[in-house]
Amino acid sequence: MSLVAAAKYLDVALSHVEDGLIVTLSLVALALGVMQVTLRYVFNTGYEWNEALFVLVTVTAMLMAGVRAVREDRHISVDVLPSIVPASVAAGMKLAAVLASLGLCVFLAWCGWLYVGFAKMMDTASPETGVQDWIVYSIMPTMMSLFALRYIIRLIIGVQSKPTHEHGAS
């Protein structure tokens, strides 16, 4: 199996995992939000942990959607300059942007894992949920690692062409 074929296989497999997580986390966030609003405004009660968990699940789902946006090349970018320069220059700019994004994601993942190690050493937990802080903080470096993986896949498959797959397609 060639490197490009392996990258395409990983791309599709990761896509299915991303879809499942985005849908599941979004539904969990919706359920938590509806539950808390109902408990608060109908029964004048609620759970302390609900707000923290709602935010955590929502942020994780949105970060996963950002990872998905990298796959589909739908993330925010400046398109004016590449549209007025020659195609070879635009291709170089696109490659430079992907490499810069990859570098930033790797750096943020590395810094995040350093912080997770520090939080583990401190052995603190959230007062609302009782969950160890390092577990919550590990979401960011994990997501930055997934962003980096997506950029690596784009580099292997080729950054020159727009992705031909639509959302949910293989």
As a whole number of angstroms, the distance between CA 57 and CA 65 comes to 12
pLDDT, averaged across the chain: 89
pLDDT band at 160 (very low <50, low <70, confident <90, very high): very low
For 154, phi and psi rounded to 5 degrees? -60, -40
Give 42's pLDDT tier (boundaries 50, 70, 90): very high
Q: Using one digit for the tens of pLDDT, what is the confidence trace for 52-90?
A: 999 999 999 999 999 999 988 887 777 778 888 888 888
Measured torsion, CA atoms of residues 9, 10, 16, 18, in degrees rounded to the nearest 10: -160
Sign of the CA dihedral with 115 first, then 28, 49, and 40 last:
positive
Read off the pLDDT of residues 128-152 as tens digits, 9 standing for 90 and up.
888 999 999 999 999 999 999 999 9
Using only the alpha carbons of the chain, give its radius of gyration: 20
- DSSP letter for 169, please: -
Are 137 and 112 in contact by the 8 Å Cβ rule? The answer is yes
- pTM for this model (two decimals): 0.85
- Burial class for 114, CB neighbours closer than 10 Å (0-12, 13-18, 19+): exposed
